[in-house]
Structure 1
Amino acid sequence: MADQKKIHLLQKASKTFLITSSIIMIFSGVALYLSLKSLLENEIEEELFSNKDRVEHLLISKPDLQGIPPIMVVEKVKDPQPAVLNDTLIYDPLQDEIELFRELSGTKEINGQEYKITVRAMVIESENILFAIVFTFLAIILVAFVFLFYLNKSRNAALWNPFFKNLAKIKAFSIKSETPLTLTESDIIEFDDLNREVILLTTKVHADYQNLKQFTEDVSHEMQTPLAIMQAKIETLFNGVKINDFQYEQLDSLQNDIRRLKNLNKRLIILAKIDNNQFADPQFVSINELFQEVLLNFKELASIDFKIEHNEELTVKMDRSLAQVLANNLISNAVKHNLENHPIKVNFFKNSVQIVNSGNSELAHPEQVFDRFYKESTKRDSSGLGLSIVKKICDYYGFTPSYSFTKSPETTTGFHTFKIRFTH
């Protein structure tokens, strides 16, 4: 069903009308032709029998009547012959050509003499009449069909106009908009029922969306305060209370979990803000400068060698804060999963940026690498949201993220390559 060719409603209705009317017109024309042909043949035969009777009556008073060839021929014969009705071709001296005639011949005894009487009627004239009638009929039907087709098309367009207007409004409607959906009224009961149900549905969906949005924002905001308090209390214990090694390990683990939870909460807030369209300040951002700032920050945190092999100027129009998140998540992902003492390559091309880090093997499910909460790493600081945020940002602006793995021919390691194409 997915591959079925789609067609507009009015085109579908017009096509159905066109096909149905054409079939009816063809069958009507054939039926008219056959019925008129049978009627004309019966009339010709009836006329032939009538003319034969007239000739027989004339022969009673005029036994030497010869007829009027080729329409009527009278011959004296010795033996009686049965009546025969058939078609024949005869040369007509008046027309100077061979014509098709319908012929009736038979004998009749008059005054003791057998006469063979042959009467004929020209078939061509009746055929011309037949074709003229059928052609006239089809011409009238065709004119009526064209008139009804355009009348039906314009009538359907006017009839469905409220539906198409409302369909355009529904397509343009967004649950993020504060303006409620308003639909064009119609005097058709079914359209009116549809409008009512659609308005009820969109109103409920909009209310649910607003409630969920408010709930997400409230929860994310309220979580920050207790997490910060918990972290501050643990730091106080570290600095002011004498604790043993076991307690230190437990508190340090708890602090790391809190830090991870705060990081997870921040990333969920970013995803929610992208969904809520809260990044509406696009500007031209130098991807080269932005990534180099991020690389400097990571160099301060860890002794990692970053290499830039291609450095074409790359400028993209997007929200700067989202561009910062995009760069941070890509570099952070590369740093987390890079092999020790191996460089990370960052390359800038005309329409794309490429981050390459080393790895032992390809991902087991590379098609899921950008899915939310998907991760193959066992590291505790991996939330499974970094690359999903990258994908969300790319979807928001129409960018194309991709992942590939290349095995190194020289060593047993390989290279994970993440690429963002900034063109549609």
Structure 2
Amino acid sequence: MKLLDRYNSLSLLTTILVIVVTGVIYYFSISYILTGQVDKDLEVEENEIFEYVKLNHALPQVFKSDDLIIHFTPIGGHGVTRRFSDCRFFDAHERDEESGRTLTSSVMVGQQLYRIEITESKVETEDLIRMIFFITLGIVFVLLTVLLLINRLVMRRLWQPFYRILKAIKLFNLADRNGIDPVNSHIDEFRDLNLEVTAMSQRVLQDYRSLKAFVENAAHELMTPLAVINSKLDTLMQVGEMNDKQGLLISEVYHTVGKLKKLNRSMLMLSRIENKLIAEREEIDLCQFIQDMVNEFQELLADRGIVISEGLKPCRIKINRDLLMIILNNLMGNAIQHNCKQGKIVIQLDQQGFSFCNTGAPVPLNEKQILQRFYKSPESEGSGLGLTLIKEICDSYGFSFRYAFRNNMHCFDISGI
């Protein structure tokens, strides 16, 4: 849930809770006040009765009224306790029971004690309470609706700089070599956030450029010593006779230098791809290209007893020829190196993409792990950059490169070509 929606939900729930609680208090407060006003009216009627009895020594004449009813009942003893109480009485005019308020008291007329019951209707009071309550509730509802709408519009506008900063962070890519553009805002917190994010992106870009320059320069500088070492080894092989142990050591050095040269070429190629220095493309018949590549590996496939199966449909692709060669050679080399004796390789090609599947270990590989730079299995003699190179090339062309374990075969799929 977004922060704005979360804030609005909490604000709405809190407001509703406050309105309900205060509404109940408000209702009972108005009811208490208006009931007190009715009690005062009853006291006025009681005082008028007392005044009339005092002056005339007789009970006043009772007139019928829709809102006020007075009863005199002769009683014995010492009188009744004066009190106010709620009651229900029959309204002859409405022919229905209504709620009312009764004042019970007593008065002495001559030697006779009378109980006084003065009842006043509360219908108008209750109608007034309900009217006030609903009017107030309507005002609160309208006010709440307006506040929520304003709050939603204003809050969304206030948070726009934050969302622009967030979008810039999501789109930030080191390969583009562009920092995060500043976002104007009148809010101090967003302005400070943007300044820090912008400064951080510039520091990251600077560190990235320095690191890439170091890798590229190091790879270039390694070429000369490797060439010298290779030349010295050639000279050493031609000087005098060597025993088997010396020949084995020189052979191992040759092998190690070859791995270093391959690693150096891969690092240089990665640097060129990441810096977008390979731009030339040409239209290539991918079906024929794969067939030619398979023919080059026929001798190695025969030595290992690996059977290759092809399902190639016509397909043309615009790509750099050298990069396509790297992709296919790495996929084919990987399928052969990690295959088993008398194994199988299946190559599929259509208009959407192509895949290389090979037999091997009967368990799936970790897709995230095998695409990490310099990762390789213990039995591998490669540099650990083959699949990384394929991934970088596919990313630069917008292709999708995925690993899958299907039908007990390890498959590398390239789609979106």
TM-score (norm 2): 0.84
Determine helix, strand or coil for the equivalent of 1:120.
Answer: strand
Structure 2 gap ranges (5+): none
Residue of structure 2 aligned with 1:34, choices 9, 28, 34? 28
The more displaced of 336-345 and 256-265 is: 336-345
Q: 1:143 to 1:279 in 2, by over 3 A?
A: farther
Alignment partner, residue 63 of structure 2: 68
- Range with greater deviation from structure 2 (71-80 or 270-279): 270-279
Distance 1:168 1:334, change over 3 A: closer
Please say if residues 75 and 115 of structure 2, whose CA atoms lie closer than 8 Å, have aligned partners that are also in contact: no
Greater shift after overlay, 298-307 or 10-19? 298-307
1:101 aligns with 2:94: no
Distance in 2 between the 1:43 and 1:317 partners?
93
- Take 1:72 and 1:283, find their aligned partners in 2: how far apart are those partners? 107
1:107–1:116 CA contact under 8 A, matched in 2: yes
1:192 lines up with 2:194 in the alignment: no
- Residues 354 and 418, structure 1, Cα contact 8 Å, conserved in 2: yes
Q: Which residue of 2 aligns with 1:206?
A: 205
Distance change in 2, residues 1:152/1:339 (3 Å): closer
Tell me the equivalent position of 2:222: 223
Deviation at 1:420, TM superposition (A): 0.6
Tell me, yes or no, if the aligned pair for 2:309 and 2:346 is still in contact at 8 Å. yes
Give the corresponding residue for 1:412.
none
Alignment partner, residue 82 of structure 2: 83
Q: Which residue of 1 aligns with 2:362?
A: 362
SS in 2 for 1:310: strand
Paired amino acid for 1:75 = F
Displacement of 1:123 in angstroms is 1.6
Q: 1:54 to 1:275 in 2, by over 3 A?
A: farther
CA contact (8 A) 1:290 1:327 kept: no
Q: Give the counterpart of 1:52 among 41, 46, 54.
A: 46
Change (3 A) 1:160 1:363: closer
Q: Tell me the residue number matched to 1:374.
A: 375
Post-superposition shift, 1:356?
Answer: 3.7
Deviations 1:283-320 (A, max 9, x none): 77654333223212222566456533433445666655
- Give a deviation string over 1:103-131, Cα, whole Å, max 9, x none: 12222113333222221111221111111
Q: CA deviation at 1:42?
A: 2.0
Structure 1 segment 329-408 matched on structure 2, within 5 A: 329-348=330-349, 351-359=352-360, 361-362=361-362, 366=366, 368-378=369-379, 381-393=381-393, 397=398, 399-404=400-405
**CA positional deviation for 1:35:** 0.9
Structure 1 residues 81 and 378: alpha-carbon distance in aligned structure 2, compared to 1, 3 A threshold = closer
Deviation digits for residues 25-82 of structure 1 (CA, Å, limit 9, x no counterpart):
2222222111111212222222222212212222342725342346232425141333
Quote how far apart the aligned CAs of 1:165 are. 3.1
1:163 deviates by 3.1
Instruction: Specify the alignment match of 2:264 in structure 1.
Output: 265
Aligned partners of 2:61 and 2:402: how far apart in 1?
A: 104
- C-alpha distance in structure 2 between counterparts of 1:78 and 1:417, whole Å: 108
Structure-2 change in CA distance of 1:81 and 1:366 (3 Å)? closer
Deviations 1:174-224 (CA, angstroms, capped at 9, x unpaired): 334455543133333333332332232222111111111111111111212
Question: Alpha-carbon deviation of 1:251?
Answer: 1.9
CA distance in 2, matches of 1:155, 1:405: 54
Inter-partner Cα distance in structure 2 for 1:135 and 1:399: 63
- 1:237-286 CA distance string (max 9 Å, x none): 43565444333322222111111111122223333444445455677765
SS in 2 for 1:182: coil
**Do the aligned partners of 2:373 and 2:385 also contact (CA within 8 Å) in 1?**
yes
- Residue deviations 1:365-389 (CA, integer Å, cap 9, x gap): 655444433333535x333332343
Distance 1:100 1:316, change over 3 A: farther
- Contact 1:85/1:102 (<8 A) preserved: yes
Q: Name the SS for the 1:384 alignment partner.
A: coil
Could you say if the C-alpha distance between residues 132 and 154 of structure 1 is closer, same or farther in structure 2, counting changes exceeding 3 Å?
Answer: same
Cα offset, 1:391, TM superposition: 4.3
The two structures, once aligned, show a CA RMSD in angstroms of: 3.2
Structure-2 separation of matches of 1:353 and 1:422: 7
Query: Unaligned regions of 5+ residues in structure 1, if any?
Result: 1-5, 407-414
Aligned equivalent of 1:420: 413
**Matched position secondary structure for 2:181:** coil
Cα separation, 1, equivalents of 2:40 and 2:257: 111
- Distance of 1:142 and 1:343 partners within structure 2: 74
